[in-house]
Amino acid sequence: MSWAGAHVIDGRGSGSGWISLNIAGTPLSVKFVGVTMAMRPDYCSFQVNFSMQVSIGNTSVTLGPYSRIYVIAGQGENLELYGMLVGGGPGTWVDSSTAHRISTEFDIEDRRIGDDNEIPGAVHEKKAPENDDLRSILSGALAGGESAACSNWTNWDLRGTITKAGSGWIDLSKLAPGFPAGMVPMAWVGAEVLDGRGGGNSWIAFNAGGVQVTIDLIDFKYSMQANCEVKVSFSGRFRELGITAGPLSRVVVVGRKQEALELYGIFTGEGPGTLLDLIVGRRVSMEH
């Protein structure tokens, strides 16, 4: 499955949007209706609730409601968001996405904006943050960056609040009894605060094959290396399941530096069937 689209956010907790969806070669046109949004208690995140009006040829059907969780990965004109669908049970839709704000203009009457009253072209959809900062038209694009020499960098240079997102595959039976064996797709968004001394705290909202959980990363440690690698270790405490998995480790690299710090990472393999993912993170604040 792949899709691209755009959203208009009105700054008061509602909005509208559309996506073009391709499911195994079948094209679908989707309009978002009943869109509402609100900030979540986990820092740097908010939730969007919506239904989808799906058009297939001359037939139209409304599906939902659904929810997405987003983390804020940029500020002001550089607003960027990472998002994932909230799991609705095993076997349901799992995805992750990235978006950029391309304009702070919006139309209260929900008319399309731009030349000939059309929404400017977009690629990947996404939503926005705090209600008064939520007005935006969002267009997605995957972030990229170039590594540079990190020989003079220390843990202190990574301090601050970083929002992040990832997707991949996992065998839930390796984490907790009762889950069926086998790899399932998963997506997650989250945030972390690095203290500049090699420690910190973190949370992620996690959808694995439709199973939705929130995970607190505990015993969180990181170590900046001269070759631009950041070694990260932690355990994951599943709030809803009452279990702790780990310790786990990641290999992370610095993609961009200074205020616009970006990090890219993978899980360190712990044997066949374990978690496999690829992540991107962006610093949104130097505070810690």
Assess contact for 51 and 33: CB atoms under 8 A.
Answer: yes
CA–CA dist 109, 249 (Å, integer): 49
pLDDT score, position 106: 53
Strands in 57-115 per DSSP E: 59-72, 80-85, 96-103
Give the structural domain span for 223. Answer: 155-285
Of 205, 50, 179, the closest CA to residue 125 belongs to 50
What is the pTM assigned to this prediction? 0.72
pLDDT, tens digit (0-9, with 9 covering 90-100), for 104-138 = 665 433 333 333 333 232 223 433 333 433 333 33
CA–CA dist 207, 265 (Å, integer): 19
Total Cβ atoms within 10 A of residue 32: 21
Torsion (CA) 144, 145, 146, 152 in degrees, nearest 10: -150
Average confidence (pLDDT) over 142-150: 41
Q: Say if 256 falls within a structural domain.
A: yes
Q: Say if 68 falls within a structural domain.
A: yes
pLDDT score, position 143: 30
Q: Which residues of 193-224 are buried (b: 16+ CB within 10 A; e: fewer)?
A: bbbeebebebbbbbbbbbbbbbbbbeebebeb
pLDDT score, position 234: 93
Q: Say if 254 falls within a structural domain.
A: yes
Q: Is pLDDT at 272 greater than 70 in this prediction?
A: no
108-112, 252-256, 261-265, 277-281: lowest mean pLDDT where?
A: 108-112
Q: Say if 170 falls within a structural domain.
A: yes
pLDDT, tens digit (0-9, with 9 covering 90-100), for 173-191 = 877 777 888 888 889 999 9
Q: Say if 135 falls within a structural domain.
A: no
Task: Indicate the residue among 115, 130, 145 that finishes a domain.
Answer: 130
Q: What is the CATH number of the domain that holds 167?
A: 2.40.128
13 with 73, same domain: the answer is yes
11 with 99, same domain: the answer is yes
pLDDT score, position 121: 26
Q: Which residues is 108 bridged to in the sheet?
A: none
Q: Is pLDDT at 3 greater than 70 in this prediction?
A: yes
Mean pLDDT, the chain, rounded, equals 76
100 with 165, same domain: the answer is no
Q: Say if 218 falls within a structural domain.
A: yes
> Contacts by 232-236 with C-beta closer than 8 Å and gap 24+?
232/265, 234/202
90 with 178, same domain: the answer is no
Q: Is pLDDT at 223 greater than 90 in this prediction?
A: yes
Q: Say if 112 falls within a structural domain.
A: no
Q: Give percent of the chain with pLDDT exceeding 70.
A: 76
204 with 84, same domain: the answer is no
pLDDT score, position 82: 86
Quickly tell me which residue has 């990090």 as its tokens: 263
pLDDT confidence tier of residue 86, bands split at 50, 70 and 90: confident
84 with 191, same domain: the answer is no
268 with 166, same domain: the answer is yes
44 with 165, same domain: the answer is no
Assess contact for 217 and 236: CB atoms under 8 A.
Answer: yes
Query: How many domains in the chain?
Result: 2
Q: Say if 140 falls within a structural domain.
A: no
Average confidence (pLDDT) over 91-116: 57
CA–CA dist 21, 54 (Å, integer): 10
